[in-house]
Amino acid sequence: MASVWAKSVVNLQVLAVFFCLMVCLPPGGGQKKKENLLSEKVDQMMEWSSRRSVIRMNGDKFRRFVKAPPRNYSVIVMFTALQPQRQCSVCRQANEEYQVLANSWRYSSAFSNKLFFTVVDYDEGADVFQQLNMNSAPTFMHFPAKGKPKRADTFDLQRIGFASEQLAKWIADRTDVQIRVFRPPNYSGTIALALLVSLVGGLLYLRRNNLEFIYNKTGWAMAALCVVFAMTSGQMWNHIRGPPYAHKNPQNGQVMLQSPWGWCYSMKLPPPREMLAREESSAWLALAWWCFSLVSCSPSSGPSTMDTPTASLLSEQTQ
Ligand SMILES: *[C@@H]1O[C@H](CO)[C@@H](O)[C@H](O)[C@H]1NC(C)=O
């Protein structure tokens, strides 16, 4: 009985092999296989992007879904270093903008399998960085549906920054997909303004019997001078451009602080990590630390590399 069973299994196997040969061998079979592979890849990408608007990739996934043909979809890749020990504060800001953009695409009515957003983190796919000869993060690249990426398929972050709107413009230029950026509303500015107005209003109300101080010329002059000094110092530039508060030099571990007079070296006091990351929740802690360190640091112009927002990864590789 057992031998009969075994025999029929063998027969089945032979049949299966035959069947495979029949399907695969006829002329045009290669084409069919390619199509199957393509639709398999598209399905997989769609499945991932239904779960997260930005698909995380390691080296293998990147090579299979982004680099290798066949493809009929465009892929935007953000090469970044988000692990806290990399201390790449720009990466985090860029990541936020990228998420906004990817969500705008994911939840737009025009969403299709033509375009996917992916991310390769240095700590998950260092081999990809090496393969592409890439030594700074964040970097945005477009991999077109056909052919290799050209020069213009690398986003010029140094020149135009990484705001979602700029990224969307670049994507519209490289692919023909138009994305309307939708930002989740941010009420913190409105709340702060309301608080300020009610505070001033409350003070005026409390002193309603003695409002002479409003006509005080010296007071107004002082206030005007304060505004003028604040505007002409680098503080306004900082406010508009929003550079990170502090930057750690990966070569010697020295922390540089931003001050209204430019970058300056600090004493050897490690800043709270949150500060480098510029997270809102710990902004007050960061501010306190910043003020404290500023008093004890000497102004200097700082090395010119601090002007560029990308963090070097090569020097950190040895860590
Ligand atoms: C790409 O090819 C797959 C499989 O043939 C197909 O399902 C999909 O719609 C194609 N995508 C585009 C954007 O043409």
Would you kindly state where each structural domain of the chain is located, as residue ranges? 32-175, 216-296
What is the rounded distance in angstroms from the CA atom of residue 170 to the CA atom of residue 128?
23
Contact 157, 309 (CB under 8 A): yes
Query: How far is ligand 1, taken at its centre, from the CA of residue 31, in Å?
Result: 15
| Residue whose CB lies within 8 A of the most ligand 1 atoms, among 46, 47, 113, for a mutation test | 113
Fold of the domain spanning 32-175 = Glutaredoxin (3.40.30)
Instruction: Report the distance separating Cα 188 and Cα 165, nearest Å.
Output: 21
Question: How many helices (H) and strands (E) in the chain?
Answer: 12, 10
- Distance in Å, CA 32 to ligand 1 centroid: 14
Look up residue 66 and give its DSSP letter. I
Residue 176: the pLDDT is: 87
Question: In tens digits, what is the pLDDT along the chain, a chain of 319 residues?
Answer: 444 454 554 455 655 544 544 444 444 556 778 888 899 999 999 999 989 999 999 999 999 999 888 889 999 999 999 988 888 888 888 999 999 999 999 988 889 999 999 999 999 988 999 998 888 888 999 999 988 888 888 888 887 888 888 899 999 998 988 999 888 777 888 899 999 999 999 988 888 888 787 888 888 999 999 888 877 766 676 667 666 656 666 666 666 665 555 555 554 445 555 444 444 445 566 666 666 666 655 544 444 344 444 444 444 443 3
Give pLDDT, residue 157: 82
**What whole-number distance in Å separates Cα of residue 271 and Cα of residue 298?**
17
Could you say which DSSP state residue 67 is in?
I
Contact 68, 38 (CB under 8 A): no
Q: Which of 115, 95, 96 is nearest to 105 (CA)?
A: 115
Which candidate, 79, 75, 81, 97, places its Cα nearest to that of 171?
A: 75
Which protein residues are within 6 Å of ligand 1, measured from CB?
35, 38-39, 42, 72-73, 113-114
| Gap between the Cα atoms of 144 and 154, Å rounded | 11
Return the number of other C-beta atoms located less than 10 Å from residue 5's C-beta.
Answer: 9
The whole-number pLDDT of residue 317 equals 41
pLDDT at 201: 92
| SS3 (DSSP) at 259 | strand
